[in-house]
Structure 1
Amino acid sequence: MELSTLDYGFIIVFFSLVLGIGVYVSKSSGKDTSEFFLSGRTMPWWLLGLSMVATTFSTDTPNLVTDIVRTNGVSGNWVWWCFLITGMLTVFVYAKLWRKSNVNTDLEFYEMRYGGKPASFLRKFRAIYLGVIFNVITMSAVTLAAIKIGSIMLGLEPWQTVVSAGLITVTFSALGGFKGVVYTDFLLFFVAMAGAIGAAYYLVNIPEVGGIKELMANENVSEKLNILPDFSNKKALITLFIIPLAVQWWSSWYPGAEPGGGGYIAQRMLAAKDANHAIGATFFFNIMHYALRPWPWILVALASIVVYPDLASIQEAFPNVTPDKLGHDLAYSAMLTKLPSGLLGVVLASLVAAYMSTISTQLNWGSSYIVYDFYKQQVNPNASEKRLVAVGRISTVVLMVFSAGLALLLQNALQLFDVLLAFGAGTGLIFILRWFWWRINAWSEITAMFASGIISIILKLTPLGAFLFATDTGILPDWSEYIFIVVVTTAIWLIATFMTQPESKDTLRSFYKKIQPGGPGWSKVVSEANKDAVEIVEAKEKWSVPAGISAMLIGVVLIYSIMFATGYWIYGRTTQAIVLTIISIISGILLIKAWNRLKGNIL
């Protein structure tokens, strides 16, 4: 595929702007670690919200959605749509708690909530476990998508894509720090959205597809359109709908959708001006992330079924793609090769934008763990701010190199998505409860983390997994594997919790006094503090969790109804679209009232 001068012009201007922003903010970002990793905690909600959306708008996401739609239909997206419940819980319950904690990273929370050597170990270990291992795996999936796009659209070798895309990204990330990431995300968001919407509109209307009506009527596409899975298909109903909505959203840790908040979402909440800005940012992110943004990708995925109905047709059209990189996720990039000059440049720039936004965030977030939670704690507690910023910039480069190397060995994003979900299965409930139940201790988290990882490895990499869950010969149905990991992991960490000593009174009282979590889960701690004449409860602080959960439920209805209504308007199913639009308006009004009540409890 040949790029025109206009296409190159779009891409060059885009790269220049991004690097210019990184250089422009490099001086202020390098002043100290607070600026480099949190931009001085002065960010407004709208800028942080856009940054969250841009960050999750990665190059692997449209590939993942395409793989899901081609394999399991539109309803297959419930494997990640279910995380909206997690997101809403973060918005209306946990955002204010994170902002009140005033920590530099979410891992610093461990030595606030827990005490002693177990808390110190947990913080340092997870700094490497999440900041390096999980972070590198996540970035490698994004880079893998870039490799496939480069291969299909530009005929690039994998190493050429890795070097060209990675070099620019790591440069502005190391220079600009968090402020550079957020400022460029503002630009990247609009470029990425313009590219995704423009590509979807054009590709649905190419002669091979014939427009939206022809697409919806196509025999191969019509069976993939259902937003809800086929209830008569027991396996699909359980794996694609029931397990995600009943178990997955609260039980699994996944980057960007951590139960109770965490990761780079927590980083942005911590960088907000105050609790209300943190809440506003996360709410805006969830609306854009779930309700609106997926549909351009879904339309391209559906159109790809018409043009490339199977893997053989993709292989035939792109014979240079190596067998180890051939998968349904390639269909998205394959469709983009049909774009005309000009629009092609915008879309390529949007894909580069998506890549750079996600990678820059992951680099800065992972680097913050290495600096605050490992280097400063374990290696050099007396390091100057200048030294810490230098370590942050060096670790940024190292993380990029590791992730690029791993990306060259991977095959598809959906494969990695399933592995990450399994490794975090059973740990999510701890992240939800640790704020509101005094009895959870550091050993609860340590045990859950190792149990989940070890069980996942045993089931996926040893004959035991095949023996238990093989489709034909296994003792248990293969869809129960995830539930098995959750149940066993939860049982193990609960046993460990009650077999080990609770945190000390001083640790628990200090945490309560700072955060004011409230609720029956802390009544024992509050009662004992009162007996000892120790004041830890602020009289003006109301327990906001009931109001927060009420707002969460209304928010879930609002966003799902917007998402469904958008889909049905696109499908041309007017009656369903009108009903869901009315529901979204009513739930929006109710949410405003719930939010006003909630603000009274926060302020």
Structure 2
Amino acid sequence: MPETVLAPIDWLIIAAMLSFSLLVGFMVRDSASEGGVEGFFTAGRRMKWWLLGTSIVATTFASDTPLAITGWIAQYGIAGNWFWWGGVLGSVAMTVFFARTWRNSGVVTDVELIELRYGGKPAATLRSVKAFINATLVNCIILGWVFAGMSKISESFMDWRWLLGPGFYDSLAGAYPEVLLFGSFDNTLTIAVLVAVTLAYSALGGMRAVIITDLVQFALAMGMSILLTVLAVSHLGGLDAMWSGLATLYPADGSATSLAGEPYLTHERVRAFAPDFGEGVVGSLGIPFTAFVLTLGVMWWSSGTVDGSGFMAQRLYTAADAGEAEKGALWYSFANFMLRSWPWAIAGVAALVIFPRMDVDQAAQDFSLCVQDEAVCTQEMRQCLDNRYQCAIPEYTLLVREDDATAAAPAFREDRERGYPALIRELLPAGLMGLMLASLMAAFMSTVSTHINWGASYLANDFYARFINRDASAKQLTRVSRLATLVIAAIAVVVASTVKNIGSMWELYGGMMAGLGLPHLMRWLWWRANAWTEIAGMLTGFTLALVNYVSSQQGWLPPGQMSIFPAFMANHAIHVICWISLIAAIASIAATLATPPVDDALLREFTRRIRPMGWWGRFAGNHTPERGFAQSLLYFAMAGLSIYAGMFGVGYLLRLQTAMGVGLLLVCAVSLFIVVRGMARVDAER
């Protein structure tokens, strides 16, 4: 058994990937210094569609994503992907309705649009408040999840004691503050190195460095994900053998159960694309049917990100023109859902066959007994407990140890998210293993770099340049931008290390943002919207979400009630978020009608500059939309159809149902052709 999982060639490959990222930052640092915040955060507005679209995909392809999907496959089957497949409609809406307008706006951050659209003191206040929330709270929630995912990946591979030597390693571990640990010191060192490199190239090269590294990082991460899936399926003898093995291990009669008698998913539920909502059915999504309908019918448009607000908008206004922005958003939508879904889903299925749940469950029980009674431990088990990097028991990689375990509660339990790192460790030889880990680190860095750069843009553009020094030179603004990058990184590391319950934090954030969905749509589509439209929505959403979060955490709710809303109204977090969005929507409309409209001169300038579609009353004559609302609605429907048809077409082919797969892919191709030709016509007529 080797002293460590990674061979020297693996460490060299990882070092090469980190060095490349640093090199990019140094190579573009001069161009990033030109143009102040605009040059630093918008990359000079010269990006082509394939660059900016790939950059968005790379950002959403975090290192935790394949782990989460591997866990969903075991718990819910392939249908568990509906947790993110429901986002297709929101992504398409951002593409056909708003991608062009973001580029036409010429802003540096999405909150800068607030003053461009509304003007006045309420707008200035709203801009600063939203900038602060996005720069801190939103970033820290997301990075907390991403850091947790990277910890699970690195845990079985990154043996820093072997690399640094026991003496130096122990000195570092003793000096490091325990409060900032991400699980173990090895995990913490891995994250610290990755964040330091990411911070360096982000601060040196700005958005241009982020986009260039994103392109390489995504190509590496996607390529290695596909390779791992191919190797896993080949290890089982091909797709047909994989599905047959799944049927044998998890028979349709539900006879496969854990040692505690809990049934595992049957092979039929694992391979199903549609959720099962039967009460108590193993493999249901864990949500009632009404919540699933609300996900597809309400959640996508009631979120504050429906128009692309946030880091997606930041990519869109790096585009060379409005057409490039729209094509980039369309490429992102297809790549995000159609390209990324299946390598991870099939790898999750393969992991269920290569590491059967009953074997992992048995290993969890054996190791639990081992830590309670050393006499029952084998030599191999002791070796795993002493040094996980030298463990020869594959199932150990899928176990997580509970620190507060007692004899009555097993010390170890199965964590199917760890099935993805287990595949890497079991199937990949030296060299490929290093390349795979480098790809996941690259995915981690692409996400972190985006959020650090995005958060810094608010501090530099919406605080310093707007309220502190409006006459700052380009050189001063570049220095402030780089300093803001450091500040955001420091805040993210400190806060993310304290986040314990990511799920509850996401529910809090989802509720807070639910108040901004309709106001964000209104500001682009209706002349009557004003700053109070967004203020009312934001305050209502924030207040209700915060009261709901505190009440649930402090145990103030009546028995059987999971939120501030009665049980008959809400028995799932999705219900809660939708009720918040409805109440906030009513508040937004009421505030709009009760307050004066935006000044006519400002609206005339906004419509001239943005050329929005929708209902603009007497201001409609000031501009001609690049594309009408009805035509955009058609492309919205066709693009959504195309993505879903293509996504499931590939899925049916992988399930060896060729006729259905080919038919859906033809529907995908025809629908896509109509959308792309229609979008191209707009640019040809400009």
Same fold (TM over 0.5): yes
State whether residues 447 and 496 of structure 1, in contact with CA within 8 Å, keep that contact through their aligned partners in structure 2: yes
- Which stretch of the first structure deviates more once superposed, 284-293 or 157-166? 157-166
Return the offset for 1:417. Answer: 4.2
Residue aligning to 2:275:
229
State whether residues 23 and 176 of structure 1, in contact with CA within 8 Å, keep that contact through their aligned partners in structure 2: yes
Matched, 1:21 2:15: no
> Letter of the aligned partner of 1:175 in structure 2?
L
| 1:591–1:460 distance in 2 versus 1, CA, 3 Å | same
For the residues of structure 1 that align with 2:488 and 2:683, how far apart are their CA atoms? 40
Residue aligning to 1:246:
297
Partner of 2:426: helix, strand, or coil?
A: coil
2:132 corresponds to which of 123, 128, 132: 128
Return the offset for 1:541. Answer: 5.0
Residue aligning to 2:255:
none
For the residues of structure 2 that align with 1:323 and 1:491, how far apart are their CA atoms? 47
For the residues of structure 2 that align with 1:267 and 1:404, how far apart are their CA atoms? 23
| 1:548–1:409 distance in 2 versus 1, CA, 3 Å | same
The one-character-per-residue Cα deviations of 1:267-313 (angstroms, maximum 9, x if unpaired) are 11111111111111111111100111121111222333442638856
Residue aligning to 2:622:
537
Residue aligning to 1:376:
465
Residue aligning to 2:523:
434
Residue aligning to 2:242:
212
Return the offset for 1:414. Answer: 5.1
TM-score by length of 1: 0.90
For the residues of structure 2 that align with 1:418 and 1:188, how far apart are their CA atoms? 30
| 1:541–1:444 distance in 2 versus 1, CA, 3 Å | closer
Matched, 1:93 2:187: no
For the residues of structure 2 that align with 1:430 and 1:229, how far apart are their CA atoms? 32
For the residues of structure 1 that align with 2:582 and 2:650, how far apart are their CA atoms? 36
Return the offset for 1:380. Answer: 2.0
Partner of 2:456: helix, strand, or coil?
A: helix
| 1:313–1:204 distance in 2 versus 1, CA, 3 Å | farther
> Letter of the aligned partner of 1:17 in structure 2?
F
Return the offset for 1:347. Answer: 1.0
Any stretches of 5+ residues in structure 1 without a counterpart? 527-535
Matched, 1:295 2:298: no
Return the offset for 1:401. Answer: 2.0
Return the offset for 1:465. Answer: 5.4
State whether residues 551 and 591 of structure 1, in contact with CA within 8 Å, keep that contact through their aligned partners in structure 2: yes
Task: State how 1:60-79 maps to structure 2 within 5 Å.
Answer: 60-79=64-83
Residue aligning to 1:583:
667
| 1:372–1:303 distance in 2 versus 1, CA, 3 Å | same
Matched, 1:329 2:417: yes
Residue aligning to 2:256:
none
State whether residues 277 and 289 of structure 2, in contact with CA within 8 Å, keep that contact through their aligned partners in structure 1: no
Matched, 1:552 2:581: no
| 1:449–1:384 distance in 2 versus 1, CA, 3 Å | same
For the residues of structure 2 that align with 1:461 and 1:305, how far apart are their CA atoms? 38
For the residues of structure 1 that align with 2:590 and 2:339, how far apart are their CA atoms? 42
Matched, 1:565 2:649: yes
State whether residues 76 and 229 of structure 1, in contact with CA within 8 Å, keep that contact through their aligned partners in structure 2: yes
Residue aligning to 1:309:
357
> Letter of the aligned partner of 2:80 in structure 1?
G
| 1:8–1:259 distance in 2 versus 1, CA, 3 Å | same
> Letter of the aligned partner of 1:366 in structure 2?
G
Residue aligning to 2:545:
456
Residue aligning to 1:182:
211
For the residues of structure 2 that align with 1:329 and 1:403, how far apart are their CA atoms? 24
Task: State how 1:402-441 maps to structure 2 within 5 Å.
Answer: 402-411=491-500, 416-441=505-530
Return the offset for 1:81. Answer: 1.6
Any stretches of 5+ residues in structure 2 without a counterpart? 160-183, 251-264, 368-395, 405-411
| 1:7–1:415 distance in 2 versus 1, CA, 3 Å | farther
Partner of 2:155: helix, strand, or coil?
A: helix
CA-based RMSD of the aligned residues comes to: 2.8
State whether residues 93 and 544 of structure 1, in contact with CA within 8 Å, keep that contact through their aligned partners in structure 2: no
For the residues of structure 1 that align with 2:136 and 2:147, how far apart are their CA atoms? 16
For the residues of structure 2 that align with 1:366 and 1:261, how far apart are their CA atoms? 16
Residue aligning to 1:531:
none
**Identical aligned pairs, as a percentage?**
30
| 1:398–1:352 distance in 2 versus 1, CA, 3 Å | same
Residue aligning to 1:500:
595
Residue aligning to 2:372:
none
Matched, 1:161 2:254: no
**By percentage of residues, which structure has more helix?**
1
| 1:470–1:132 distance in 2 versus 1, CA, 3 Å | closer
For the residues of structure 2 that align with 1:478 and 1:407, how far apart are their CA atoms? 29
The one-character-per-residue Cα deviations of 1:182-213 (angstroms, maximum 9, x if unpaired) are 11112111110122112222234446999533
Structure 1 runs, 4 residues or longer, greater than 6 Å off: none
State whether residues 144 and 502 of structure 2, in contact with CA within 8 Å, keep that contact through their aligned partners in structure 1: no
Aligned residues: 586
For the residues of structure 2 that align with 1:176 and 1:575, how far apart are their CA atoms? 49
Matched, 1:30 2:8: no
Task: State how 1:335-374 maps to structure 2 within 5 Å.
Answer: 335-340=423-428, 341-374=430-463
Larger radius of gyration: 2
Return the offset for 1:239. Answer: 5.8
The one-character-per-residue Cα deviations of 1:414-458 (angstroms, maximum 9, x if unpaired) are 555444323322421221221111121111111211221221222
For the residues of structure 2 that align with 1:541 and 1:194, how far apart are their CA atoms? 40
The one-character-per-residue Cα deviations of 1:3-37 (angstroms, maximum 9, x if unpaired) are 01221222122112111111111122123322211
